[in-house]
Amino acid sequence: MGNRMEKPALSTPRVIAIDLLRGLAVMGMIMVAYAGGWDRRFTFLTHADWRGFAIADMIFPAFLFCAGAALPHALARRAGQGRTALVGHVLRRSAVLVALGVVLNLLPGFDFAHVRLPGILQRIGLCYAIVGTGCVLALRRDGLRVSVPVAASVALLAGYAALLLAWDAPGCGRACFDSMHALPAVVDRAVFGVPHLWPWGTTGAVVTFDPEGLVSTLGALVNVLFGVAASLLLMRSHKRATLTALAIAGVACLLAGFLLDPLVPMVKKLWTPSFALASGGFTLLSLLVLMRVVPPGQEAPAWTRPVLAFGTNATLAFVGITLIDTAMQLPLGAGSLHDLLAAWLAQAIPEARVASAAYSALLLLVLGAGLWQLFKRRIVIRI
C-alpha cells in the first residue's frame, strides 16, 4: 500500500443523532457539574460516590463515544492525504485539546504550582491521539475495517482487567480498587504529584486520585473505539439488520458490565473495564433511540435544534461554560456571583433541589443563547 489513501466507496449521510447525543451530553454535563448547591441536588444529577452505576456517570462516556464516531468521517474527508498528513492532523488536534484543557485548569489565578494537569479535554485529546493514530495506521484501500476497533476494544478490556487484578497494592493486597491503593491512583500520584491532581479526588481529607488520570485512560479508550465501530457500521448501512446488530451489541455490553462487576468493580473514577462496557452499551442504546427520533438522511425536527446547537459546537460549549463558571466564582464582596444567585434562587424557590437545578438551568440558557446564534448562522468552531 502506498503512502496515499484512496477514498473508500462509502455512503456517508450525516447521522444527526450523533450530534443530538453530543448535545445532550453537553447539557447534562452543565446540569451535573455546575450546581447551585452541591449538598442540595436531585439524585439523578449526582455521580456515584465510588462504585456503582449512575446516570450522571454516563455523560463523559457519551463524549468519548461521539469523538470516536466522528473519526471515520474525518478520515474519509481526508482520504486523499497520505498517512503522515493524517497522523499529523490527528496529533495537532489532540495537542490543542490537551493544551486548552490545561489552560482552562489554570484559571483564574494561573497557579502553576497547583494546576491540575489531567482533565476532561486532556483525556479526550489523549484518547483521540491514540485511537486516531491507530485508525490511520490500520487504514486499507477499502477503508477501515470494523474488526479493527472491535479487536482493539477486546484487547484493552482484557489487558486492563488483568492489570488491575494482578496489582498487589502495598497495604491493601491484590486486586485493590479503593481510592488510595488502586493502581491508577498510585500511578497518578507518582507521575503528576499530588498538587497537580483533581483537588476533590480525596480519601478522607487527603488528595489521592484523579478521575481523568493516566492508567484509567485505558478504559476510556474502549468507549472511543465503540464509537468508531458503530460509526463504521452506520456509514455502510442504516438497514434494519445493522441497527438490530448494534442494539444486540449495546445490550450485550451493558449486561457484560454488570456481570463483570463482582470481579472487576464498576468504578467510573478508575474507568474500570466493567464501567467501560456498561457505559459503552448504554451510550450505544441511547444513540439508537435518538436515531429513531431523527433517522439518518432526514431533517431534524425543530424541537431538537436547541440541542443540536450544543452538539455542533461541543468544544466551544465546554470552554464557554468553564469561562462563565470561572467568572461566577470570582470573589465579590463577602461571596461571589454564584453565591448571590444561588442564595436568591433558594429564597425564591422553596424546594432546595429545584433551586439548585434552576441555577444550572440558568447557566444553560445563557450559554445556549450564544450557541444558538452560531447554530442559526451555521458557524461551527472546529479545532
CB atoms within 10 A of CB 292: 9
Q: What domain count does the chain have?
A: 1
- Asked whether residue 215 is assigned to any structural domain, the reply reads yes
CA dist 26 to 16, 178, 200, 265, 316, Å?
Answer: 16, 29, 21, 27, 10
Q: What is the reported pLDDT for 13?
A: 59
What pLDDT digit, counting tens, does each position of 324-355 carry? 999 999 998 778 999 999 999 999 999 999 99
**C-alpha grid cell, residue 268:** 467510573
What pLDDT score does 7 carry? 45
The answer to whether residue 86 sits within a structural domain is no
In a domain, 53, yes or no: yes
Residue 11 has pLDDT above 50, yes or no: no
Whether 250 is covered by a domain: the verdict is: yes
Dist CA 280 CA 203 (whole Å): 28
Place of cell 468507549: 223
pLDDT at residue number 371: 98
Mean predicted confidence (pLDDT) in 28-56:
95
| Burial tier of 132 (Cβ tally within 10 Å: 0-12, 13-18, 19+) | buried
**Domain range for 346:** 16-80+143-377
Let me know if residue 94 belongs to a domain: no
321 located within any domain: yes
Question: Does some domain include residue 96?
Answer: no
Threshold 0.75, pTM exceeds: yes
**Residue 176: inside a domain, yes or no?**
yes
Q: pLDDT, tens digit, for every residue of 291-324?
A: 999 988 888 899 999 999 999 999 999 999 999 9
Closest CA to 87 of 29, 129, 34: 129
Instruction: For 174, list phi and psi in degrees, rounded to 5.
Output: -75, 150
- Please give the mean pLDDT across all residues of the chain: 94
**Model confidence pLDDT, tens digit, residues 91-113:** 999 999 999 999 999 999 999 99
